[in-house]
Amino acid sequence: MFGAGARGESYDSGDDFVPPWRRRRETTARKRRYILARKDTEDGPLEIMSPTDSLWYKMYVQNFHILEDDLLQSKFRMRFRLPYNAFLELAEKVKKDDRFARWCGPKYNNKRASPVKLLLLGSLRYLGRGWTFDDIEECTAVSADVHRCFLHKFIDFGSTALYDEYVLTPVNLPEARSNMREYTQAGFPGCVGSSDCTHIVTDRCQYNLKNNHLGGKSSLTTRTFNITCNHRRRILHSTQGGPGRWNDMTMVRLDRFVSGIQDGSILEDVTFELLGYDQDGKVVVMKYKGVYVIVDNGYLDWSCTVPPFGVTNDVDEIRWSKWVESMRKLSLIHI
């Protein structure tokens, strides 16, 4: 018996018969997939470049002289936004985390895994310089899709494991005392840090979310974070990102650190003294419980958020406001 094939061809419908289109598919060898390749001569063989042959691998992964050259270390820090020693430590932490198991083993799905240090460099360049995945693919010979998958894991790793390790939020007097030292010396006893909202530009915002992410401080779409740091510019706490349209009053309500100070759930064991006037106008020492943070005038009128005076003609209040602003700006200038 003869029947019509899937491509208009006649074939015998016997049990041992294989259609011609299937025979062609089975005999055709699958071409090897690659990212970068080159030919030394016009008629020479095609040489497929592996990630270990890429520019970044030879410059940053296999170049052990970076640790011996100050110029190379300076260039690396400028390009990837962290020192080379910190990069090596971060790579070791990534290798030990289960989230990156598919890249840290020798093979994944019978395929050789990409070098994890190259993937880490790609994520750092994407976050620090705003490169596209296609740009990173060109420098690493690793697929853009692989870099994209790694970046999602790295962001999750950074917001959980790295955040818990490096962002130490004070919750009691011994932890708060070291952060209050500079403020006490400057005349602000009881102040634990400076708080402000920071807007991070997101160029690839979805169109249906664009209006919510257009804030008043920028014509670009942004994500906003309320960050608290001490006078040494060490971050003490950060909220999760919110739309750029959310202002300081909204973000501080979502800040567990500042809200915890306000409701007395954290740092309630801290006490400090301030000078004040009694009913007779005499200067007396007044004791307070808890702590506060210095902010700008966009925050809620809470007892734990101390802004400068908005409008005043009093010379002492103007001088005090300038002093508050100088302490706050010095703390937040590099965030």
Are residues 195 and 319 both part of a single domain? yes
Say if residue 331's pLDDT is above 80: no
Flag whether 25 is in a domain.
Answer: no
For residues 130-148, give the mean pLDDT. Answer: 92
pLDDT tens figures, 291-311: 999 999 999 999 999 999 988
pTM of the predicted protein model = 0.75
Q: Are 128 and 186 in the same domain?
A: no
Share of the chain above pLDDT 90, in %: 57
* Beta pairing partners, 77: none
| Count of all residues that appear for the chain in the document | 335
- Quick one: 212 and 279 in the same domain? yes
Residues 204 and 303 in one domain: yes
Cβ(189)–Cβ(271) below 8 Å: no
Are 321 and 199 contained in the same domain?
Answer: yes
Is residue 43 situated within a structural domain?
Answer: no
Burial class from Cβ neighbours inside 10 Å (0-12, 13-18, 19+) for residue 12 reads: exposed
- Could you tell me if 189 and 183 are in contact, meaning their C-beta atoms sit under 8 angstroms apart? yes
Is 136 a domain residue? yes
In a shared domain, residues 187 and 322: yes
Chosen domain end from 166, 192, 220: 166
In a domain, 40, yes or no: no
Is residue 176 domain-resident? Answer: no
109 plus 197 within the same structural domain: no
| Domain coverage including residue 147 | 51-166
Q: How many domains does the chain have?
A: 2
Q: Is 8 left (phi over 0), alpha (psi -120 to 50) or beta?
A: left
Q: Domain check: are 214 and 140 in the same one?
A: no
* pLDDT of 333 strictly over 60: no
pLDDT digit string, tens, across residues 186-203: 999 999 999 999 998 887
Does pLDDT of 82 surpass 90?
yes
Residue 253 in domain: yes
Do 57 and 115 contact (CB within 8 A), yes or no? yes
Are 161 and 197 found together in one domain?
Answer: no
Mean pLDDT score across all residues of the chain:
85
The reply to whether 154 and 65 lie within a common domain is yes
Average pLDDT rounded to a whole number, residues 274-299 = 91
